[in-house]
Amino acid sequence: MKAALALALLLLVPTSDRAAAATNDAEHYLDAFVDRSADPRADFFRFAVGKWLNDHPIPATERRWGIAQAVQDDTYARLLRINEEAAAGHAADGSNARKIGDFWRAAMDADAVAAQALHPLDDEFARIDAVASRDQLMAEIARLQRMGANALCNLYIFQDEKHSDRTSLHLYQGGLGLPNRDHYLDNDARATALREAYVEHVARILELLGAARAVARRDAERVMAIETELARASRKLEALRDPEANYNVLEVGELGDLAPAIAWRDYFAAGGLPPLETVVVGQPEFFVQAGKSLQERPIAEWQAYLRWHLAHAYAAQGGGAFEAENFRFFGTVLTGTPEQRPRWKRMLDEEEKVLGDALGQLYVAAHFPPAAKARYEKLADDVVEAFRARLGKLEWMSEPTRRRALVKLDALKKKVGYPDKWKDYAGYDVTPRSFLENVKRGRIWQTDYDIAKLGKPVDRLEWEMTPQTYNAYYMAPNNEIVLPAAAFILPGIDDTEVDDAIVYGYAGGTTIGHEITHGFDDEGRQFDEHGNLASWWAEADDVEFKRRARVVVEQYGSTVAVGELRVNGEATQGENIADLGGIVIAWDAFTKTAQYREGKPIGGFIPAQRFYIGWALGWMMQVRPEALELQVKTDYHSPSFVRVNGPVSNQPEFHDAFGVRPGDRMYRSMSERAKVW
Ligand SMILES: [Zn+2]
């Protein structure tokens, strides 16, 4: 329960009673985390959570292990109970409980799943084989995209960045089988080996579909050639953080200028889209290349590509040999994980994607009382107040920009716990007989659900995460922070064990602060209080923000993540700025507590020290080297040890708390320190 203990830290709203109770118990839990033999001035991360990490090596079934997984494990146990009860019960036809029960029974019958393999998709493969023209090819691509396959490009329906009250179709780069364009283009030994392994993986999947070995190898090379062309035309991770550059409105008639080979209106219709006037094109140059590749390459090559992408989209759900081969490459080769996770956990993940809100309703009813919701709403308000005070005295910001920033902060909306309105799954037909069929229907249902939003007013009550998710987010078009219920779970832990300093340093303060400042990071600050992409910064402030952000980019960009690989300072700057903001806002809020003022040590640590230990608990995580490399190439978040040591090394209060001095590895001189907020 040591892991579970830490998640209690999220829950607590501090009171002086709790702080008093904590005095007796604090040694007991901090000792499970802190490695007192490590030097906080040399590597604070090791010091603060090294004991726990040593005691909890990464299980063979995991690519990483830490606080988030420990919390997730607890959520899994709760969801398992919900599913087993639903499967054993006799809920009414069409009810959510019945859908959950049927989904679960079909998913857990591993023998039936393996026997069906990808056969529920036979008709789709036959359609691919029958493609005889480029128009048919595009129609087939549209069908596969609707089923969730990443064929050629991405289509998604989302709020329009410059008109947040309406919904637009977005065309985005995509079509790759490896996680990032860099995997196709990097020339180091690891990338080269990964590409070879990938081609072999594609070949093996095609063989499982029935192709002869030589044909499968040849087709896998064709897939690689097409994807490499698409990768070359794709923007880098960091470039995708520029919302202006990703916003190119075109009339549907103009799309022909980008890619004349595509009959765009027919293509949209084949995907079930209504007639459209305009679309937002994320990366026009990508679609120029996609159109050229479609035109120049023989249809037979595209058929191989589509067979692969359809199989790839469903291999993890195909059971037996498909599932094993999919894990061999994407689990073991790509992330270094030796063993598959138990089936029941993987099936919960699958169910989460297609019935997440139905699960969420039952989850919240059982595990998230109204008092918890009220408590966290209050804490969110307090952290907003702390940021308001900080904005009010920020020395580098001019008055006009400050006024606009405060207007945006005033307009910020908070969603806590669970949505006011749940998704209605009436149209999603779940069968107890085929897991793969349920996954396919669920994906089509989701696509159609999004398509139905086109032309209607935006529903701002919607959530992008389910309540049982251990995470949180800021969403620019709604200018809102969203904090799911699972952030507050308390698995059998008495919350009196945890004191204010840890609450503020861990998630209570810093996570909320982090999400709020996303509205003001390099990307979020480009959106106004209505959620529209519109400049509101005075020029001098804009220059000063960028100068300060540059310090962050360079600081993180010079940090080694794994082996020779450094953190991508550009791509991670938004998250890093939010971390730096979250920690200072939470600190401000913490200094208002009685516990801070009294300054009593608990477990041998003064309040300021415990605050920073709390911060480290939030990012307590160890990751396999392969998975860490993948993270650096695909994730906008820095590695967890960087997320701990980076922000604290910029805080004067941290230097004071642990006596960090020139010459210490954690030391940063005043002139080197990053400070945005
Ligand atoms: Zn973030």
CA of 147 to the centre of ligand 1 (A): 29
According to the model, what pLDDT value does residue 496 have? 59
CA of 430 to the centre of ligand 1 (A): 35
Q: How many other C-beta atoms lie within 10 A of the C-beta of residue 298?
A: 9
* Crossing angle of the two packed helices 607-618 and 573-590, in degrees rounded to 10: 150
Nearest to 576 by CA among 621, 531, 639, 512: 639
Burial class (CB in 10 A: 0-12, 13-18, 19+), 133: exposed
According to the model, what pLDDT value does residue 371 have? 83
**Could you tell me if 533 and 162 are in contact, meaning their C-beta atoms sit under 8 angstroms apart?**
yes
Phi, psi values for residue 168, rounded to 5°: -130, 155
Nearest to 292 by CA among 247, 246, 230, 235: 230
CA of 623 to the centre of ligand 1 (A): 19
SS3 string, 203-272, reads: HHHHHHCCCCHHHHHHHHHHHHHHHHHHHHCCCCCHHHHCCCCCCEEEEHHHHHHHCCCCCHHHHHHHCC
Phi, psi values for residue 444, rounded to 5°: -65, -40
CA of 478 to the centre of ligand 1 (A): 16
Strand stretches in 7-74, DSSP E: 64-66
H/E segment holding residue 475: strand 473-475
According to the model, what pLDDT value does residue 491 have? 44
CA of 574 to the centre of ligand 1 (A): 7
Phi, psi values for residue 179, rounded to 5°: -70, -25
Q: Provide block-wise average pLDDT over 10 residues at a time, the chain (677 residues).
A: 31 34 53 94 98 96 93 91 94 96 98 98 98 97 98 97 96 98 95 97 98 98 98 97 96 96 97 97 98 98 98 98 98 97 98 97 90 84 94 96 97 95 96 98 98 95 94 94 79 60 81 93 94 95 96 97 95 96 94 93 93 92 96 96 98 98 97 95
pTM listed for this prediction: 0.92
Burial class (CB in 10 A: 0-12, 13-18, 19+), 85: middle
CA of 146 to the centre of ligand 1 (A): 29
Q: How far apart are CA 360 and CA 490, in angstroms?
A: 17
User: 174-209: string of b/e by CB count within 10 Å (b at 16+)?
Assistant: bbbbbebbbbbeeeeeebeebbeebebbbbbbbbbb
Q: From residue 306, how far is each of 133, 145, 175, 322, 460 by CA, in Å?
A: 14, 10, 10, 17, 36
Helix (H, G, I), strand (E, B) or coil at 82: helix
**Could you tell me if 564 and 416 are in contact, meaning their C-beta atoms sit under 8 angstroms apart?**
no
According to the model, what pLDDT value does residue 469 have? 93
CA of 127 to the centre of ligand 1 (A): 42
CA of 349 to the centre of ligand 1 (A): 22
* Crossing angle of the two packed helices 320-327 and 299-315, in degrees rounded to 10: 90
CA of 527 to the centre of ligand 1 (A): 16
CA of 575 to the centre of ligand 1 (A): 5
According to the model, what pLDDT value does residue 603 have? 87
According to the model, what pLDDT value does residue 270 have? 97
Q: How far apart are CA 437 and CA 122, in angstroms?
A: 12
Residues whose CB falls within 8 Å of the CB of residue 455, separated by 6 or more in sequence, listed in order: 167, 274
CA of 585 to the centre of ligand 1 (A): 15
CA of 110 to the centre of ligand 1 (A): 37
CA of 515 to the centre of ligand 1 (A): 6
CA of 119 to the centre of ligand 1 (A): 40
According to the model, what pLDDT value does residue 1 have? 27
Q: How far apart are CA 30 and CA 23, in angstroms?
A: 12
